[in-house]
Structure 1
Amino acid sequence: MRDILDNPIVSDFLTSLAAGELNIETELVWVAIATALSMVGGAIGGMLLAGKDIGYQFSAMLGALFGPAGAIPAIVLGLVLLNFLTNY
């Protein structure tokens, strides 16, 4: 583990991620994190809304599939706007 963290490429990436710099690598990481969180939120929302009607597992699966449908475009648009505002 120490060898991975001492690698200059990984160290530079983690530094730019922690500093809040917006480049293509950090944007892809933030999109992946936000997608995973929206899938969890969609699964919880699906279970709360339709758990008793169609079953908790099926509603969680549908919620996890449909959760990122609205979140991913908003995340990408937000990152594009932040990148635009920091550059100009």
Structure 2
Amino acid sequence: MSNFLTSLASGNLNIATVIVWVMIATVLSMLGGAIGGILLAGKDIGYKFSAMLGGLFGPAGVIPGILLGLAVLNLFTNS
């Protein structure tokens, strides 16, 4: 477990660290989307519904972005 945490902290990219980074990014984007949904449409459609919609639409832009970023980092580290 300490080897995995060291690999994660040092920026070493392998399949396990990529999966962990994508999961962390997804959770954080869901949280940010929920907060954004509450701030934007909470009064109009209800706070719970706007949080749910924001949490669902938040990862729509983050997941492709994080995968593209990890692919570019992998290209830079291999060259």
Give the TM-score of the pair, scaled to structure 1.
Answer: 0.87
The residue that corresponds to 2:40 in the other structure is 49
Name stretches of at least 5 consecutive residues in structure 1 with no aligned partner: 1-9
The structure whose RCO (Cα within 8 Å, separation 6+) is larger is: 2
State the 4+ residue runs in structure 1 displaced beyond 6 angstroms. none
CA distance in 1, matches of 2:41, 2:2: 45
CA distance in 1, matches of 2:27, 2:37: 15
Name stretches of at least 5 consecutive residues in structure 2 with no aligned partner: none
Tell which structure's C-alpha radius of gyration is larger: 1
Q: Deviations over 1:38-69 (max 9, x none)?
A: 00000000001100000000000000000000
Equivalent positions of 1:30-69 (< 5 A) are: 30-69=21-60
Match of 1:82 among 60, 63, 73: 73
Give the TM-score of the pair, scaled to structure 2.
Answer: 0.97
CA distance in 2, matches of 1:42, 1:66: 7
- How much identity, in percent, do the aligned residues show? 73
Equivalent positions of 1:13-24 (< 5 A) are: 13-24=4-15
Q: One-letter code of the match for 2:66?
A: I
1:20 Cα deviation (Å)?
A: 1.2
